[in-house]
Amino acid sequence: MKKGTKLYSVVNFKCPCCHEGDFFISHPYNFKFTGDILENCSVCAKKYMLEPGFYQGAMYVAYGLGVVVFLSIWASCNLFFPSMGVWTQISIFSLLIIFLGPLLFSLSKIIYANIFIKFDANAKSNYLKSKI
């Protein structure tokens, strides 16, 4: 996983444009600022909010992530513990979603941003040239 790939930006929570600046104000489990994004990149000055309400589309990504978590728990329980009851599986899923909620919320926003904001290897240097 190297700089220039979408996965690099998503895993490291970095700017989708330059892959150097931070995307979020703080870590996803800092509950005061969970999911809050910066207005601009501190390195390339890319504006993260492309239009008002832009990140409402991230709800679809969050839904997809929730489905992946549910299916992986369901398949794992049925594969490794075939005698496990349905209510036990629901309890495990509910606990995991509660604990993974802030991470999934943040991941949905960074994934959604990476769909629409393209990587530019020269973003930092272009920004520095424009300041001169």
pLDDT tens, position by position, 74-124? 999 999 999 999 999 999 999 999 999 999 999 999 999 999 999 988 887
110's tokens: 């960074």
Contacts of residue 63, Cβ cutoff 8 Å, sequence gap at least 6:
none
Q: Output b/e per residue, 110-124; b: 16+ Cβ within 10 A.
A: bbbbbeebebbeebb
Q: Work out the percent of the chain whose per-residue pLDDT is above 70.
A: 98
> Rounded CA gap, 132 and 124, in Å?
13
Confidence (pLDDT) at 132: 63
pTM of the model: 0.87
Confidence class for position 15, pLDDT limits 50, 70, 90: very high
Mean pLDDT of 123-130: 75
Under a CB-based contact definition with an 8 Å cutoff, are residues 46 and 117 in contact? yes
Backbone φ and ψ for 24, nearest 5 degrees, come out as -105, 155
2 or 86: whose pLDDT is higher? 86
Q: What is the pLDDT of residue 76?
A: 94
Where in the chain does DSSP place strands (E)? none
